[in-house]
């Protein structure tokens, strides 16, 4: 079992840039991922997360900058690096005509693993992915959540040094997401280095030790989920709705009550360390919102602060 050994560096990038003609997909970013760490790229679609992942995974060449994965340059040592990565792409790319265990088997063979090793490994992975009863079922007949778990199990067949997950739970129903998070959390507990891209803040908060917030190819901030919230938001948020017509009329009055407000199309977010007290002040001033809600700050608020936009448009 691989244990997290502190500061041994798995991935390191400096000035990493990818351009497609005039379009800059990744704009000179720097980052480091340590062994045993769970590192997340958080940002909306088109932020450059998947592009960065593909450069790390040696399936896309960079335009400029430096990157090393396990101490090697992915452009020069593609197979040597890929040998130690487990890749879970955004869209499942399983062989639909084959069964669950056949998919695991052939993938193990692509890594040159012996038949006997793969046979034993399949049992562990089926158990891990909760697919023991589905072992002889064709992939075509699996649910979305099962396919996703199988794709993750497949990526683990070679016991990779780094597991890369691109939007692991996009398109899954809430129950399937929670099962998947549980599985990923167990991997994290076992010290597997995880690299995750997501545009779900709850996913990033649950799974990542450290998050890099990306937008339009650049890094907006980088810290632990709690650190980001502490630095870029208040403890609590008061969400108020006055009806879509009145929101913008009332906004100037609300601005005087707290340091930061955000006006969204359907509601106004008011940032404060004590949401309850702020609501009282509001009502004391005769401003009666149709609905109000006090909640803890989340990464969504951090993102809004950093980019002026919500994560899921």
Partner 1 sequence: MTVIIRQGSLKLVNVERIRKRGAYSVAQSRLRIMLKFFWSVFAAATLNPVLFLMSVGIGVGKLINNHSGGVDGVNYLTFLAPALLASAAIQNALDEVVFPVLEGFKWNKSFFAMNATPLSAKQIADGVFLAAMIRTCFSVVIYGLVIFLFDGFTSSRGWFAIPLALFAGASFGAFVMGLAVAAKNDDSFFMILSRFVIMPLFLFSGTFYQLSTMPIFLRWIGWLSPLWHATELSRFFTYGHHLAPIMVIIHVGYMVAMLIFGLNFTHRQFEKRLSK
Judged by the rule CB under 8 A, the positions of this chain that interact with partner 1 are 1-2, 57, 59-61, 78-80, 82-85, 87, 89, 91, 93-98, 102, 106-107, 109-113, 117, 124-125, 127-128, 154, 156, 158-161, 186-187, 190-192
Decide whether 100 or 201 has the Cβ nearer to partner 1.
100
Decide whether 16 or 85 has the Cβ nearer to partner 1.
85
Decide whether 44 or 191 has the Cβ nearer to partner 1.
191
What's the CA gap between 203 and 192, in Å, rounded? 17
Decide whether 97 or 312 has the Cβ nearer to partner 1.
97
219: left (phi over 0), alpha (psi -120 to 50) or beta: beta
Decide whether 82 or 177 has the Cβ nearer to partner 1.
82
Using alpha carbons, select from 264, 168, 191 the residue that is nearest to residue 8: 191
What's the CA gap between 61 and 58, in Å, rounded? 7
Using alpha carbons, select from 39, 151, 42 the residue that is nearest to residue 91: 151
What's the CA gap between 63 and 110, in Å, rounded? 29
CB of 108 vs partner 1, minimal distance in Å:
9
Number of H helices, E strands in the chain: 11, 13
CB of 12 vs partner 1, minimal distance in Å:
18
Quick check: 167 and 144 in contact, CB under 8 A? no
Decide whether 190 or 291 has the Cβ nearer to partner 1.
190
Q: Which two tokens stand for residue 312?
A: 């899921």
Decide whether 123 or 253 has the Cβ nearer to partner 1.
123
Decide whether 26 or 192 has the Cβ nearer to partner 1.
192
CB of 122 vs partner 1, minimal distance in Å:
12
Decide whether 15 or 120 has the Cβ nearer to partner 1.
120
CB of 239 vs partner 1, minimal distance in Å:
39
Using alpha carbons, select from 86, 64, 62 the residue that is nearest to residue 74: 62
Q: How does DSSP classify residue 173? A: -
Q: Is 234 helix (H, G, I), strand (E, B) or coil?
A: coil
53: left (phi over 0), alpha (psi -120 to 50) or beta: alpha
Q: Residue 91, CB half-sphere, CA atoms under 13 Å: how many? A: 2
Measured CA to CA in angstroms, residue 64 lies from 18, 58, 163, 292 at distances of 7, 14, 25, 49
Quick check: 221 and 41 in contact, CB under 8 A? no
Q: Is 3 helix (H, G, I), strand (E, B) or coil?
A: coil
């Amino acid at each position: 079992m691989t244990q997290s050994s502190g500061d041994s560096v798995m991935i390191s990038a400096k000035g990493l840039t990818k351009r497609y003609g005039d379009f800059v997909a990744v704009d000179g970013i720097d980052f480091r991922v340590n062994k045993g760490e769970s590192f997340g790229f958080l940002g909306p679609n088109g932020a450059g997360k998947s592009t960065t992942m593909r450069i790390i995974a040696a399936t896309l060449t960079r335009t400029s900058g430096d990157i090393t994965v396990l101490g090697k340059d992915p452009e020069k040592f593609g197979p040597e690096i890929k040998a130690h990565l487990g890749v879970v792409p955004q869209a499942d790319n399983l062989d639909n005509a084959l069964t669950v265990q056949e998919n695991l088997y052939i993938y193990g063979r692509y890594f040159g693993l012996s038949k006997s090793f793969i046979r034993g490994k399949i049992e562990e992975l089926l158990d891990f992915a909760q697919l023991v009863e589905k072992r002889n079922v064709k992939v075509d007949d699996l649910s979305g959540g099962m396919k996703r778990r199988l794709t993750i199990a497949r990526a683990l067949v070679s016991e990779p040094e780094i597991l890369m997950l691109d939007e692991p739970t996009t398109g899954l129903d809430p129950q399937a997401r929670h099962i998947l998070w549980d599985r990923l959390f167990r991997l994290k507990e076992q010290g597997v280095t995880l690299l995750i891209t997501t545009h779900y803040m709850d996913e990033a908060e649950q799974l990542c030790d450290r998050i890099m917030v990306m937008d339009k190819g650049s890094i907006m901030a980088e810290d632990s989920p709690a650190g980001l919230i502490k630095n870029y938001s208040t403890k609590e948020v008061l969400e108020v709705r006055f009806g879509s017509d009145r929101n913008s009329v009332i906004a100037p009055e609300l601005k005087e009550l707290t340091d930061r407000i955000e006006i969204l199309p359907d509601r106004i977010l008011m940032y404060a360390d004590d949401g309850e007290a702020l609501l009282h002040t509001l009502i004391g001033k005769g401003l009666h919102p149709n609905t109000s809600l006090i909640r803890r700050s989340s990464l969504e608020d951090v993102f809004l602060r950093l980019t002026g936009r919500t994560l899921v448009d």
